[in-house]
Structure 1
Amino acid sequence: MNKKALRQHYYSKRYQLIKSIEASSSQKVLQKIPNLLETNQKIVIYWPLINEIDLRGIAKQLPNQLALPAVYKDQLHIHNWSPGQALQLDDCGIPAPIYQSRLHPNQVGLLLAPALAFDNRGIRLGYGGGYYDRLRSDPLWRGIIALIVAPASYKVNEITTDSWDIPFDGWLTESELKYL
């Protein structure tokens, strides 16, 4: 199946599943992730689109440790985030911190990204904008552990890759945290 057909298939499939696995996915983040971070490092989560796994609830247990991405001028930028902070729509129409100083990769310990599908090689099928791939093409950002967040049922045998696709370091599902 080509990427366009896969996107369409998984976009409709996710409506059936997300709410039932959200709590267990967030619990895995809270149990496993803090041990991976150095002092004062941030975890980049994402503002969930309709029926993506919503990790924002971990802010209660990890205050001042979260960051959100924002797309401005066709680039993904990472900014500090705390619940209650003023947000504005980024260039993709997703709520994001008001543009401020970007975080440097050495301030980030983990990048979590949603997916429509993923494979055993860590290839992520996103929405087709390439924002995470462009960010991670920078060697400093490539050095940050990056995990796909998606239901286990979104794992497929193989996703067709393009030359710019950068594999993720593993994935987080309702049933496992896997590093490659």
Structure 2
Amino acid sequence: MSHVLLLEQRNFIRQHLRNLRRSLTEEQQQRAADMLTERAVSFEGIASAVHIALFIPVDGEINTLLLSAKFWKQKKQIYLPVLHPFAAGHLLFLSYTPQTPLVLNKLNIPEPPLDVRQIITLDRLDVMIVPLVAFDNRGQRLGMGGGFYDRALQNWRQQGFLPIGVAHDFQKVEKLPVMQWDIALPVVLTPSQLWQWE
């Protein structure tokens, strides 16, 4: 299949699922977040983790704020992605506590203010909870199109952390059109199911 056709297909899936996500009611979002949180905290890979990268939900993404509250209660350390100030397309992960002020970055996503003392290197993470727009039967992931997480996940095996995608149930599709830079996920959690590959 041609490169252009693949990109068109990906954009169609992306647009469709983002629209579905954004059309959820507050009640549907709340129920999904409650179920996801319960599933996540009982998953062994998360239960045994101490250093966890998380993300702040935007654009109808499944709500992870309940999860962060649970993690803080369990004395886990949480980190949020921050756009790298000079390596375009890359992320840094910074410590996030209930006291951390958040500022909107140029993509309109809340992030902690840049402070080198708060950065964690990827090899010190136990888990990276990853946003996604769609995933398929083989754990392939489709993101928002910026490639930020594909770059962050490039060497996850060598760095020793576990990437876990989280999404609404309807974000699963049968088969995604894959590009060579896509990184498949070993685990995806949805409100009603745990998907594991490998």
Alignment correspondent of 1:100: 115
Deviation at 1:10, TM superposition (A): 0.3
Q: Provide TM-score, normalisation by structure 2.
A: 0.81
Verify: 1:52 aligned to 2:69, yes or no. no
Q: Structure 1: which 5+ runs fail to align? A: none
Deviation at 1:76, TM superposition (A): 0.9
Taking the TM superposition and a 5 Å limit, the aligned residue runs for 1:56-95 are 56-63=65-72, 64-72=76-84, 73=86, 74=88, 75-95=90-110
Query: Partner of 2:71: helix, strand, or coil?
Result: coil
Q: Say if 2:18 and 2:60, in contact at 8 Å, map to a contact too.
A: no
Q: Deviations over 1:110-138 (max 9, x none)?
A: 11112211102111111100001111224
Q: Which amino acid aligns with 2:97?
A: S
Q: Say if 2:32 and 2:168, in contact at 8 Å, map to a contact too.
A: yes
> CA separation in 2, counterparts of 1:145 and 1:42?
11
Picking from 167, 170, 186, the partner of 1:153 is 170
Deviation at 1:61, TM superposition (A): 2.8
Structure with higher helix content:
2
Q: Structure 2: which 5+ runs fail to align? A: 1-7
**Structure 1 runs (4+) greater than 3 angstroms displaced:** 17-20, 138-143
Alignment CA distance shift 1:91-1:143 (3 Å): farther
Verify: 1:26 aligned to 2:41, yes or no. no
Structure with higher strand content:
1
Alignment correspondent of 1:114: 131
Alignment CA distance shift 1:7-1:34 (3 Å): closer
Q: Which amino acid aligns with 1:92?
A: L
Which structure has the larger Rg over C-alpha atoms? 2
C-alpha RMSD over aligned residues: 2.0
